[in-house]
Amino acid sequence: DREYMLAYSYDATGLEYLPDAVLFAEHERDVQNAMRICQRHSIPLIPRGAGVGYTGGSLAVNGGLVLVFTRMNRILLLDKENFLAEVEPGVITADLQEAAEKIGLFYPPDPASLKTSTIGGNVAENAGGPRCFKYGVTANYVLGLEAFLMSGEKIHLGAHTIKNVAGYDLKALLIGSEGTLAVVTKVILRLLPLPPRRLLFRVDFSTLAAGARFVQSVIQGHVQPAVLEFMDKSSLQAVYAYQGMSGDPRVQAAVLVEIDGSPAEVAEREALFKEQVDKAAPVQYERAATFAEQEVLWQTRRSISPAIAKLKPKKINEDIVVPGGRIPEMVEFIEALAAEFNLCIVLFGHFGDGNIHTNLMVDPEDGEEMKRVAIVLDRIFKRVIEMGGTISGEHGIGLSKKPFMHYQFGPLEMRLFRDIKKVFDPDNLLNPGKIF
């Protein structure tokens, strides 16, 4: 059915590749049968969750079968005694969080796409999110996996335990492998006790650099926040326009800080945080104690991506990470490049862990502008690697970041990646054309 093909031909990159067929897996036997048939007839197979990936990982670049997991969405087990969940890959991230919270448990990884993204997609991309600053990324919560190789054979990796050093850590290899090594059909996840209290703050600054320095002072001041998110002036203005509101013209940057823990811990951390706020002398500062107040502040942060998409025809969305202490320097470097090359660059992201979403807003029809973009990206990636950072913190490589792999890896590392791929998928049928 052509409509289905069209609906599964794109993701959040806006790139489009029409598959030859789409199959909705409902049980693991559907997965196994599909893989066996594709292997036998040399048909590419592309696993797909919700299709909100930012790097084209779920796109059928060489045609083939798109295997969609949204109907394989059962939460199989929530184990309060052992702090565990077992889920199928199509479970929506927010649904797992809500189900866990109902029984006093907590699944921390919180990509901004959490109301749509699937656990399978999160595992395949090793997704992060605001709370990952304190709690770690998806990989920190995956205890075990069940998956199918392209041959249709089933593998069991990891265990139901936190400690496990038996054999090579193939589970770790699969996490973040972007659906290129095996297809995940079950995920065993670690849960935590739900923190009883949360406070959210928004602190506004008159310069970008002051906001970036504040992030560092909060970390160095032992506040131990769960979240340290940053939004620059362009992000804020775009969100206000999107929401039909007007912002304070003095504000050039805003920092969102969440503190969680027991009431006593939260009180202690809030006092430490307040010391840093007083030292930084921000333009203004807001405290959200209730869930409803906090959702209003979160809404601004979560609206940035759709809001900035309206600024220019295309968003080149980079996902660089630098060591935390280098953030102010990196932010100033990018600001200077934007001014020198007359480009609209929007910065926001998870500054607590050094992850700067660097969005170059461009018009692809403007050849002259695209030449300047190429120079700026080259300089940014070179500086990121010089600082000891990485070209992607959470969005993965997929299709769109492939051209930048050489900044981070030499021929030997690239050869090892290819050799590993051959061990799992010798005929290059599973999600071909991704990563390298």
Chain residues binding ligand FAD by CB under 6 A are 11-12, 46-54, 57-58, 69, 89, 111-113, 117-118, 120-122, 124-125, 127-129, 178-179, 183-184, 305, 394-395, 431
Question: Nearer to ligand FAD by C-beta: 131 or 269?
Answer: 131
Task: Kindly state the smallest distance separating residue 254's Cβ from ligand FAD, in Å.
Answer: 17
DSSP designation for 195: P
282 close to 293: Cβ distance less than 8 angstroms:
no
Instruction: Provide the minimum distance between the beta carbon of 279 and ligand FAD in the complex, in angstroms, as a whole number.
Output: 29
- The residue (of 125 and 318) whose beta carbon lies closer to ligand FAD is 125
State which residue, 187 or 277, has the beta carbon closest to ligand FAD.
Answer: 187
Angle, nearest 10°, between helix axes 327-340 and 208-220? 170
SS3 per-residue string spanning 134-159? HHCCHHHHEEEEEEECCCCCEEEEEC
**If we measure between CA atoms, which residue out of 349, 351, 357 comes closest to residue 327?**
351
Q: How far is the CB of 15 from ligand FAD (least distance, A)?
A: 12
What's the closest the beta carbon of residue 34 comes to ligand FAD, in angstroms?
A: 12
**In the complex, minimum distance from the CB of residue 104 to ligand FAD, in angstroms, rounded to a whole number:** 25
* Least distance between ligand FAD and beta carbon 401 (Å): 12
When the beta carbons of 182 and 251 are compared against ligand FAD, the nearer one is 182
| Cβ at position 346, least distance to ligand FAD in Å | 13
Start-end of H helices in 115-253: 119-125, 132-135, 170-174, 208-220, 233-243
Q: Report the amino acid identity of residue 424.
A: F
Q: Rounded to an integer, what distance in angstroms lies between the CA atom of residue 319 and that of residue 303?
A: 17
| For ligand FAD, the closer CB: 276 or 305 | 305
DSSP, collapsed to helix, strand or coil, labels residue 3 as helix
Give backbone dihedrals phi and psi of 12, rounded to 5 degrees, phi first. Answer: -75, -5
The whole-angstrom distance between residue 219's C-alpha and the CA centroid of its chain comes to 22
375-to-315, 337, 366 alpha-carbon distances in Å: 16, 10, 15
Rounded Cα–Cα distance for residues 347 and 359 (Å): 6
Minimum gap (Å) between residue 18 Cβ and ligand FAD: 16
Is residue 381 a contact partner of residue 391, using CB atoms and an 8 Å limit? yes
Q: Smaller CB distance to ligand FAD: residue 64 or 261?
A: 64
> Whose Cβ is closer to ligand FAD: residue 129's or residue 261's?
129
Report the residue number, 46 or 277, with the smaller CB distance to ligand FAD. 46
Three-state DSSP class for 232? Answer: strand
Decide whether 12 or 208 has the Cβ nearer to ligand FAD: 12
Q: What are phi and psi of 157, to 5 degrees?
A: -125, 145
Provide the minimum distance between the beta carbon of 188 and ligand FAD in the complex, in angstroms, as a whole number: 14
The Cα diameter of the chain in Å comes to 66
Q: Which of 12, 20, 45 is nearest to 424 (CA)?
A: 45
